[in-house]
Structure 1
């Protein structure tokens, strides 16, 4: 393993990696050139391999520890590591979205430079926030239109209530003049989606409460943190600091993670949280369903594509103006 260079460990692009791990009550270590986690049984111990070259995020829950050698190998492979509470929530470090990020001097610079080229302009920052919200709605329409499993559970993009809620939100997005209004429009849309999902899955008197222990709320919390892991990975690989948010930054540091995670949360996490709650699924079953949905709908690819496009939008506009000048 010592003969491998860090570039060899990053052969699989992050946007194409398949695994995101949540571990609890175990010890993560390096053994024989691999990263393993050890679970202690009554009579013997069990070692399980973590395929680090095909992993984006490792979330360490209650009762976990990790060795220095394992962290070094995870960093070489470009895997993000986060410490969190039971069930994946909350992420520690002051309950903010913070990660042990691998260090690399060779990440691309064009994306952070493109992002910062407009970020200090409030109007362009708001325009980018609007674009993220519009793309979020488009992704929801796309997923709910073609996902046979969701449609079988009663989630339809062409439902009259959903169409009305999405159209109303789009109108609000286009007319907003400040980020706080955009946050309000987002909250109203999500509230309408909660109501719809609760109705489709016969969840009576559902109220969104982050501290509640009912299955739907717990699954929403857990699934959202999985989405935050993908968002954090996207930003780290592109080299964009988490603090340069366009919508949530007024209330939280590192809030660009929240902005990016919004792209997929409503489309994928929200419906499956309610469906799995209705079916009395275990936490592990819900997590597996979430990760399957992320994979089937290429959620990480979608995040990368949107952030790359938005980051380089300034370059595209400059090139367009240059072409107009020439003509």
Structure 2
């Protein structure tokens, strides 16, 4: 029986993320557990926002179901959390948010309003009137370069620019590896929040064309504040276990900054641009098998029926030709 998603804790009350690699995850009688050569470790499925699965992990169908039922987003990623390969589901079954997101993305005027809001949130103040988007992007470039230079001076870590070879990770300099590891953690948390709130990770406003475009949009709101200082600080402390220490420091900093409290409200403010979006009365979060409404254009004046399928997603309402 699918769980009523209203029973789950709010995202802001959840733990941020857990990264695991080289082990097996299964559901036993009491909990989801991670098993490796060191033993068995329970995973707090009901209070975890995102589970990041690195190389060498296997997971059973029952464990995936338990995590999904508890609103824990599963992200399959590369070593040290760098790169995302696949994702699981979040804490809502409603489509309203993604419909609104799609309506805004597909309207150039409204999309520009959202983009300007994104830059204003990064700058923490309203932008001057009359600036073109390329001009705004130029100001953002100055802001980011200044942040890198300031962190380099503060922590005494040389900075030669943001560059690394994806095909030869180990040849990157330590600060770039630390930045990539920290940003991967941030992407994972933003990804989990986006999916949990019912938005699409693919429908970006600044970034576009990839399945994670909106994740990059949202993560960029917090990089200068959170991951840039983390990366420079852990690099200044030494290069042994650098990526692991960057992840651990991210977990601490994300908690102190109450990041999970902020992401969804920030998204709601960013997308608070008037646009017409259909709303439906069915509470699919309480009942996963609730019949699906049909697009209004398919209905006659005396219609008003829902999809005749026995389960959500079954297309019994489509007539055969």
- Fold conserved between structures, TM > 0.5: yes
Q: Secondary structure at the match of 1:267?
A: helix
Distance in 2 (CA, whole Å) between partners of 1:184 and 1:221 is: 23
Q: 2:113 aligns with which of 127, 136, 146?
A: 127
Aligned residues: CA RMSD: 2.6
Q: Secondary structure at the match of 2:12?
A: helix
**Conserved in 2, the CA contact under 8 Å of 1:117 and 1:314?**
no
Report the CA distance between 1:129 and its aligned residue. 1.1
Q: Secondary structure at the match of 1:197?
A: helix
Equivalence for 1:28: 25
Equivalence for 1:148: none
Distance in 2 (CA, whole Å) between partners of 1:118 and 1:99 is: 24
**Conserved in 1, the CA contact under 8 Å of 2:16 and 2:260?**
no
Report the CA distance between 1:100 and its aligned residue. 2.3
* Structure 2, unaligned runs of 5 or more: 166-170, 277-321
Equivalence for 2:217: 259
Q: TM-score, normalised by structure 1?
A: 0.74
Cα deviation, 1:226-264, whole Å, max 9, x if unaligned, reads 111122122212222122211011x53430110011121
**Conserved in 1, the CA contact under 8 Å of 2:148 and 2:159?**
no
Q: Secondary structure at the match of 2:58?
A: strand
- Judging changes above 3 Å, is the alpha-carbon distance between structure 1 residues 314 and 254 closer, same or farther for their aligned structure 2 residues? same
- Judging changes above 3 Å, is the alpha-carbon distance between structure 1 residues 222 and 271 closer, same or farther for their aligned structure 2 residues? same
Q: TM-score, normalised by structure 2?
A: 0.75
Report the CA distance between 1:76 and its aligned residue. 0.6
Equivalence for 2:185: 226
Q: 2:203 aligns with which of 241, 244, 249?
A: 244
**Conserved in 1, the CA contact under 8 Å of 2:21 and 2:54?**
yes
Equivalence for 1:58: 51
Distance in 1 (CA, whole Å) between partners of 2:81 and 2:60 is: 20
Distance in 2 (CA, whole Å) between partners of 1:18 and 1:305 is: 17
- Judging changes above 3 Å, is the alpha-carbon distance between structure 1 residues 253 and 284 closer, same or farther for their aligned structure 2 residues? closer
**Conserved in 1, the CA contact under 8 Å of 2:15 and 2:49?**
yes
Distance in 1 (CA, whole Å) between partners of 2:193 and 2:174 is: 29
Q: 1:190 aligns with which of 131, 140, 144?
A: 144
Report the CA distance between 1:50 and its aligned residue. 0.7
Q: How many matched pairs?
A: 269
After superposition, residues 59-208 of structure 1 pair within 5 angstroms as: 59-92=52-85, 98-102=86-90, 107-138=93-124, 175-178=130-133, 182-208=136-162
**Structure with the largest fraction of helix:** 1
- Judging changes above 3 Å, is the alpha-carbon distance between structure 1 residues 82 and 183 closer, same or farther for their aligned structure 2 residues? farther
After superposition, residues 273-292 of structure 1 pair within 5 angstroms as: 273-280=231-238, 282=241, 283-292=243-252
Q: 1:210 aligns with which of 164, 180, 183?
A: 164
